[in-house]
Amino acid sequence: DTEVTQTPKHLVMGMTNKKSLKCEQHMGHRAMYWYKQKAKKPPELMFVYSYEKLSINESVPSRFSPECPNSSLLNLHLHALQPEDSALYLCASSPARPGHEKLFFGSGTQLSVL
Amino acid sequence: DAKTTQPPSMDCAEGRAANLPCNHSTISGNEYVYWYRQIHSQGPQYIIHGLKNNETNEMASLIITEDRKSSTLILPHATLRDTAVYYCIVRAGPGSQGNLIFGKGTKLSVKP
C-alpha cells in the first residue's frame, strides 16, 4: 500500500462550523505534513509532524489545529474559518529516515468556506 | 521564498524529449535538487532528486551542472499524460524534514 488517503474529497462549510480533515497512510512513515494550495498557486507548507510530535508550524492561524493521534493518522481541525481559507488541503507522508525524504502526497480535500 | 527559478510554461510534442530547466544559483553544498510534478486535481508526485551527479530512474533523468547552479529534468519520450506542473525544489538533504518549499513551477503541455 503506497497511498495516502484523504477524506473527505470535498467539503463545504460555513464560517461558524467546526469540521475536520483526515489523512491516513499505512506505509510505516513517521513524518506527516499538511500543505495548503490556492488555485493556480504552488502548495504552501503548514505543519510537519515527526514521530507524532509537531516539529514545524509555519505561522498558521490558530483556526487551523493539527493533530497526530498515531503514526498512521493525521487530522486537521477547522474552526471559524474565513472565505479566504478556501483551498485544496494536501496531506503528505515520508519515511523520516536520512536519505529517504521522498514525500508521498494524497489527492487532497477541496475546501470551500461560505 | 523559493530558491529556484523556472519558466512558467513549456510545450512539447508527444513522443519527443521534454527538457525542463531550473536555475538554483544560491544552492548550498548540502542542498539537494528535487523534482515533483502535479497533474491537474491530484497531489504532487515525486519524480527524482540529486546532489551533484546526474541521476536516472524509470520516470526521468536529472542533469545537474558542474557548478550546481542549474539543472534540467528530462522526460525522454513525453506522452499526453505527462502534461502537468513540474516543480524544481532545493532542500537540505539527509535528516532534514518539512522544508519542501514549492516555487511556481513550469506548466508543461504535451501536444499530439
**Interchain proximity A106–B43, CB inside 8 Å:** yes
Mean pLDDT, rounded, of chain B:
91
pLDDT of residue B93: 59
Residue pLDDT, tens place only, A79-113: 999 999 999 999 999 886 655 578 899 999 999 99
Residue B28, pLDDT score: 85
pLDDT tens digits for range A20-61: 999 999 999 998 999 999 999 999 999 999 899 998 788 899
B104: left (phi over 0), alpha (psi -120 to 50) or beta: alpha
Closest CA in chain A for residue B91:
A101
Cβ–Cβ under 8 Å, residues A79 and A53:
no
Q: Do A105 and B45 touch (CB under 8 A)?
A: yes
Predicted confidence at residue B64, as pLDDT, reads 97
Q: Give the total residue count for chain A.
A: 114
Cα(A92)–Cα(A74) distance, rounded to whole angstroms?
10
pLDDT tens-place values along chain B, 112 residues long: 558 999 999 999 999 999 999 999 988 888 889 999 999 889 999 999 999 989 999 999 999 999 999 999 999 999 999 999 999 998 865 555 546 788 899 999 999 9
Which pLDDT does position B99 carry in this prediction? Answer: 67
- Collapsing DSSP to helix, strand or coil, B81 comes out as helix
Angle at A70 between CA A64 and CA A74, to 5 degrees: 30
**Shortest distance, CA B12 to any CA of chain A (angstroms):** 21
